[in-house]
Structure 1
Amino acid sequence: MGRKQTTQHVLEELPVPGDGQCVAKVVENRGGGNYVVQVPAEVNWTDEPTLLVSLPSKFRKLIWVKRGSFVIIQREEGKTKIAGEIVHVLFLDHIKHLKAQGIWPAEFEPNPPSAKDGESDESQSDDEENDDDLFVNPNRQYDEDDDDDDDE
């Protein structure tokens, strides 16, 4: 698969973890295409909650994986230090798809669902439509008084 086809495959496909695969959260970049990932508690691969996995060379200069990203990993037996390989890097659309399928681990939910008496399903849907996912440039200064000048 060429570079263009790999990019299309990563961006357009909606992956689902298969046998020997699970969703994991990137905790640390060790360099050389190796990452430490946090595995959900429900996955009983090892006693430790973190694993060292590698990113295949076909993705290395194509996709950037940073701390806090979510990936799908494939468990590999027989290797000593590297416990698996990153099969797919998940973007927001992929995460929404996995949540809709009911596959997303509850451990990785930002705000675990709590059963409050006064809370309704409408307030939860309003939270999903929030614009918190939008990028804010930290290098630009925003003047908070801009809105007040319009009222005068």
Structure 2
Amino acid sequence: MSKTTKRKHVTREVLEEFILPTDNQQIVKVVAGRGNNLHEMANAAGEKFLASMPSKFRKNVWIKRGDFVIVDPISEGSKVKAEISIILYPEQIKYIKEEGKWPESFLPRKESVTPKETKETSVGDLLDEMEQNLKVDSNSEYSETDSDNDDDLFVNTNRPVITCYYTDESSEEEDEDEEEDGIKEKSENHVK
């Protein structure tokens, strides 16, 4: 199998397969990269350990701090205690949450595990919820909601802050033109 074909198959496997963890596997969060294809992981209980990246993923798929993976434990390892078996992407995480297999400690505080027996909602309930999320402002049609707020945007502190002040240049130009016209008229009167 050529490198390109292998990369294609590995990438397809990572992106398109929706797999639930087995009994001996566990879902962990990547805490940091430690070099030599080793990554520090934290499990649902908060225990930290090293996990190795298998050779099929190397130079084909990258993971970063904050990503979630499924690992297989290595029983004989003293420092490296697991090997990465599946890298999870948002669609796969959503699938695992729907199945009720996602660890509680990795959920945001607002969210809770919801197995397939979720509460049925009608279209009317969804429309009511959407109307409540939109805040009508007297000055404009819709006001800015929390999700539209720019406060959570990344600010690059390595660049200087540039503040621009705009003035109405058209009125200044008109004033200057009037003054120039007045000067020309005076000079024409003196020439005659």
Q: Normalised by the size of structure 1, how large is the TM-score?
A: 0.69
RMSD: 2.9
Q: Is the 8 A contact 1:73 1:87 kept in 2?
A: yes
Distance in 1 between the 2:109 and 2:41 partners?
20
Match of 1:5 among 9, 12, 17: 9
Aligned pairs (5 A) from 1:76-87: 76-87=74-85
* CA deviation string 1:36-72 (max 9, x = no partner): 111012xxxxxx7111100101101111110000000
Aligned pairs (5 A) from 1:67-82: 67-82=65-80
Report deviation, 1:138: 7.0
1:92 aligns with 2:83: no
- Partner of 1:24: helix, strand, or coil? strand
Q: 1:82 to 1:10 in 2, by over 3 A?
A: same
Larger radius of gyration between Structure 1 and Structure 2: 2
Q: Count residues in correspondence.
A: 121
Q: What 5-or-longer segments of structure 1 have no aligned partner?
A: 42-47, 115-120, 140-152
Distance in 1 between the 2:29 and 2:7 partners?
25
Q: Is the 8 A contact 1:70 1:90 kept in 2?
A: yes
1:37 aligns with 2:77: no
- Runs (4+) of structure 1 exceeding 6 A deviation are 136-139
Question: Larger % of helix: which?
Answer: 2
Aligned pairs (5 A) from 1:44-123: 49-113=47-111
Percent identical residues: 39
Structure of greater relative contact order (alpha carbons < 8 Å, 6+ residues apart): 1
Q: Normalised by the size of structure 2, how large is the TM-score?
A: 0.55
1:24 aligns with 2:28: yes
